[in-house]
């Protein structure tokens, strides 16, 4: 469902800038767009004789077909459950408790409530010459929906830490020393290069400017959009400003 | 007696008032501490993300862009370009993940380590994930980089993503993913995207460069803000 401003952009999509603005606008999903996406997915499930999914949207199987036909190795289904403070973060799509973790959520772990990530893997048997993966994808997403539902139930019942439930998982360890070593070496390299070109002060300035930009962009974005959307730095600010601009444009064209 | 009782009542009332004011002060203090803590955590988050950007920007400017230019000028063959960028990615990945994934105490668990090892060992694999967060890419990179999977050990592998075209224009990480990581950026138009996908995968197969490809077929993250619920 395109807004009026998006339709205008779409009609002028010949130029690269318009195309970029259109993609930007489509990515800055407004409340109405998201709501209609969920409704459309639910309707699609019913049409295909499935119970509507509560935890996931339906997959875009047509767009994935090209990938399925070209990848030579194994195709694996991944269902990720994010847990924080004993609560499932990616719970029901329409639940007010749903939290979409971003880089800020991860970093906030230093404050005492780190995120736990549970990865469910399952090999998918898909023939290379598959022409219609709709059923395979829908079955797979039905399974993902039930995995997340089970997670939600386990956490609500307080049984997620039980031995029987946790026995299915193996921890993926990270070597803190190795990561710290890389960070130190990297910082040293930057300092050495800074000294070598006699621009150590420029490095310090660059970091200060970056810090200011990251902080202000996130703060403005969060204030405009009432949520943090930082999958990559600056995303919250950029998307929120675009969404705000589109909304203002739509309102203006309505009043005209 | 009466006056004594009145005095005692006045005293207890006074004490109650004092206790109440003390409790209020303690609440204010703890609230103040909490606000201070959340402020400190927020500042740390900004610092961690700025450092991430700074590190990636440095790698991009000093190694990534020169490599890309050499490749575009045909001084580097596609095979060599992909090989060198894999080295660069393996160098950058731990500094990208250090603060958000490791120092913040994020824990990862997997239900089928054998399958993961197989996927990492194969020349190309496709992982179809649900889109429940904005950090799926970090989880993917962490899994690709991890060498200690419980009782199993394996090599780290390059991880690529199929993502929306807009990401490549976002500063620093977006540019890095476009110029160095060679991710597949889709415009959501079948005609245009099919050839992009085919060419990208073919380049990696021809160069015999191992890669795990991540895709979230849902395409959208359902993320309502608090204003939306209001």
Nearest to B211 by CA among B84, B123, B82: B123
For testing contact with chain A, the best of B131, B133, B200 (most A CBs within 10 A): B133
Q: Which helix (H) or strand (E) holds A45?
A: helix A31-47
Q: Which residues pair with B212 in a beta bridge?
A: B125, B159
Give the span between the Cα atoms of B138 and B216, in whole angstroms. Answer: 14
Indicate the pLDDT class of residue A24, thresholds 50, 70 and 90.
Answer: low
Q: Are residues A200 and A246 part of one domain?
A: yes
**CA-based nearest residue in chain A for residue B189:** A63
What is the number of alpha carbons within 13 Å of residue B215 lying toward its C-beta?
26
Q: What average pLDDT does the segment B188-213 reach? A: 89
Indicate the pLDDT class of residue A2, thresholds 50, 70 and 90.
Answer: very low
Q: Give chain B positions within 8 Å (CB) of A166.
A: 109
Q: Are residues A69 and A31 part of one domain?
A: no
- With a CB cutoff of 8 Å and minimum separation 6, the contacts of B185 are B163, B164, B165, B167, B168, B178, B196
CA distance B74 to chain A (A): 26
- Domain holding A185, by residue range, is 175-256
DSSP letter for each residue of B90-145: HHHHHHHHIIIIIIT--EEEES-HHHHHHHHHSSEEEEEE----S-HHHHHHHHHH
Q: What average pLDDT does the segment A205-232 reach? A: 92
End-to-end CA distance of chain A: 22
Q: Are residues A199 and A140 part of one domain?
A: no
Number of residues that make up chain A: 256
Q: Which residues pair with A82 in a beta bridge?
A: A117
Backbone angles phi, psi at A77, to 5 degrees: -85, 130
Q: Which residues of A49-65 are buried (b: 16+ CB within 10 A; e: fewer)?
A: ebeebbbbbbbbbebbb
Q: Give chain B positions within 8 Å (CB) of A78.
A: 127-130, 214
Report whether B184 contacts B194 (CB < 8 A): no
For testing contact with chain A, the best of B34, B120, B222 (most A CBs within 10 A): B222
Output DSSP code: residue A157: T
More confident position, A226 or B84: B84
CA distance B24 to chain A (A): 25
**CA-based nearest residue in chain B for residue A134:** B217
Q: What average pLDDT does the segment A109-126 reach? A: 93
Q: Are A117 and B53 an interchain contact pair (Cβ–Cβ within 8 Å)?
A: no
Which structure tokens are listed for A206?
């660059």
Q: Give chain A positions within 8 Å (CB) of B113.
A: 170
Which structure tokens are listed for B29?
């203090």
Output DSSP code: residue B207: T
> How many cross-chain Cβ pairs, A to B, lie less than 8 Å apart?
337
Rounded to whole angstroms, what are the CA distances from B57 to A204, A244, B64, B159?
A: 14, 29, 9, 19
Out of A26, A59, A110, name the one closest to residue B104 (CB). A110
End-to-end CA distance of chain B: 60
For testing contact with chain B, the best of A214, A220, A236 (most B CBs within 10 A): A214
Last residue of a domain, one of A142, A166, A190: A166
- With a CB cutoff of 8 Å and minimum separation 6, the contacts of A61 are A133, A134, A136, A137, A138, B217
Alpha helices, DSSP H only, in A115-234?
A: 134-156, 163-166, 176-196, 200-225
Backbone angles phi, psi at B124, to 5 degrees: -145, 140
- Number of structural domains in chain A: 3
Rounded to whole angstroms, what are the CA distances from B228 to A226, A235, B81, B224?
A: 8, 19, 46, 6
Report whether B158 contacts B93 (CB < 8 A): no
What pLDDT does residue B23 have?
75
Q: Are residues A98 and A189 part of one domain?
A: no
For chain B, the structural domain boundaries read 63-215
Q: Are residues A139 and A87 part of one domain?
A: yes
Give the span between the Cα atoms of A3 and A185, in whole angstroms. Answer: 49
Q: Are residues A142 and A120 part of one domain?
A: yes
Q: Are A60 and B99 an interchain contact pair (Cβ–Cβ within 8 Å)?
A: no
Nearest to A74 by CA among B114, B216, B177: B114
Out of A60, A227, A233, name the one closest to residue B49 (CB). A233
Last residue of a domain, one of A33, A52, A71: A52
Q: Are residues A46 and A72 part of one domain?
A: no
Q: Are residues A152 and A136 part of one domain?
A: yes
Q: Are residues A190 and A251 part of one domain?
A: yes
Q: Which helix (H) or strand (E) holds A171?
A: strand A170-172
Q: Give chain A positions within 8 Å (CB) of B133.
A: 80, 82, 89-90, 100-102
Give the span between the Cα atoms of A113 and A108, in whole angstroms. Answer: 7
For testing contact with chain A, the best of B166, B169, B208 (most A CBs within 10 A): B166
Indicate the pLDDT class of residue A30, thresholds 50, 70 and 90.
Answer: low
Last residue of a domain, one of A166, A188, A219: A166
Q: Give chain A positions within 8 Å (CB) of B123.
A: 72-73
Q: Are residues A134 and A37 part of one domain?
A: no
Q: Are A73 and B123 an interchain contact pair (Cβ–Cβ within 8 Å)?
A: yes
What pLDDT does residue A91 have?
93
Q: Are B132 and A81 an interchain contact pair (Cβ–Cβ within 8 Å)?
A: yes
**CA-based nearest residue in chain B for residue A140:** B128
Q: Are residues A204 and A250 part of one domain?
A: yes
CA B112 to chain CA centroid, nearest Å: 22
Q: Are residues A234 and A184 part of one domain?
A: yes
Q: What average pLDDT does the segment A179-192 reach? A: 93
Q: What average pLDDT does the segment A212-235 reach? A: 91
Q: Are B105 and A109 an interchain contact pair (Cβ–Cβ within 8 Å)?
A: yes
Averaged pLDDT score across all residues of chain B: 88
Q: Which helix (H) or strand (E) holds B56?
A: helix B2-59
Averaged pLDDT score across all residues of chain A: 86
Nearest to A143 by CA among A64, A49, A77, A65: A77
Q: What average pLDDT does the segment B199-228 reach? A: 87
Report the predicted TM-score, pTM, of the whole model to 2 decimal places.
0.87
What are the CB-based long-range contacts (under 8 Å, 24+) for A142-145? A142/A50, A142/A53, A143/A77, A143/A79, A144/A55, A144/A56, A144/A77, A144/A79, A144/A120, A144/B130, A145/A53, A145/A54, A145/A55, A145/A56
């Amino acid at each position: 469902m395109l807004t009026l401003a998006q339709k205008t952009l779409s009609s002028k999509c010949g130029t690269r800038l318009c195309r970029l603005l259109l993609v930007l606008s489509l990515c800055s999903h407004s409340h109405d767009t998201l709501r209609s996406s969920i409704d459309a997915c639910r309707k699609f499930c019913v049409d295909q004789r499935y119970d509507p999914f509560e935890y996931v949207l339906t997959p875009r199987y047509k767009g994935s077909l090209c990938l399925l036909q070209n990848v030579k190795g194994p195709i694996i289904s991944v269902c990720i459950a994010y847990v924080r403070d004993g609560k499932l973060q990616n719970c029901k799509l329409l639940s007010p408790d749903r939290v979409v973790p971003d880089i800020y959520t991860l970093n906030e772990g230093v404050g005492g409530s780190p995120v736990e990530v549970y990865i469910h893997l399952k090999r998918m048997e898909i023939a290379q010459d598959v022409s219609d993966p709709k059923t395979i994808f829908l079955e797979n997403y039905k399974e993902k929906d039930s995995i997340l539902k089970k997670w939600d139930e386990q956490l609500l019942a307080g049984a997620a830490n039980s031995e029987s439930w946790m026995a299915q998982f193996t921890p993926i360890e990270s070597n803190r020393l190795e990561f710290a070593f890389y960070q130190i070496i990297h910082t040293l390299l930057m300092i050495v290069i800074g000294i070598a070109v006699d621009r150590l002060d420029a490095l310090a300035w660059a970091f200060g400017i970056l810090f200011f930009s990251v902080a202000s962009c996130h703060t403005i974005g969060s204030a405009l959009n009432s949520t943090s959307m930082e999958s990559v730095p600056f995303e919250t600010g950029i998307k929120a400003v675009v969404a705000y601009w589109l909304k203002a444009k739509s309102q203006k064209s309505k009043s005209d | 007696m009466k006056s004594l009782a009145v005095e005692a009542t006045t005293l207890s009332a006074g004490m109650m008032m004092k206790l109440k004011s003390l409790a209020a002060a303690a609440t204010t203090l703890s609230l103040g501490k909490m606000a201070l803590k959340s402020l400190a955590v927020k500042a740390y988050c900004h610092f961690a993300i700025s450092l991430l950007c700074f590190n990636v920007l440095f790698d991009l400017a000093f190694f990534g862009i020169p490599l890309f230019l050499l490749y575009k000028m045909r001084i580097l063959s596609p095979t060599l370009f992909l090989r060198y960028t894999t080295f660069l990615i393996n160098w950058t990945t731990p500094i990208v993940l250090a603060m958000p994934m490791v120092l913040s105490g994020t824990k990862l668990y997997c239900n089928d380590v054998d399958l993961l090892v197989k996927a990492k060992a194969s020349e190309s694999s496709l992982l179809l994930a649900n889109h429940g967060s904005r950090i799926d890419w970090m989880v993917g990179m962490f899994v690709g980089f991890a060498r200690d999977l419980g009782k199993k050990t394996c090599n780290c592998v390059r991880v690529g993503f199929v993502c929306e075209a807009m990401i490549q224009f976002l500063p620093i990480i977006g540019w890095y993913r476009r110029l160095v990581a060679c991710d597949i950026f889709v415009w959501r138009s079948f005609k245009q995207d099919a050839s992009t996908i085919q060419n990208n995968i073919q380049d990696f197969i021809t160069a015999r460069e191992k890669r795990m490809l991540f895709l979230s077929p849902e395409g959208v993250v359902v993320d309502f803000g608090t204003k939306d619920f209001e």
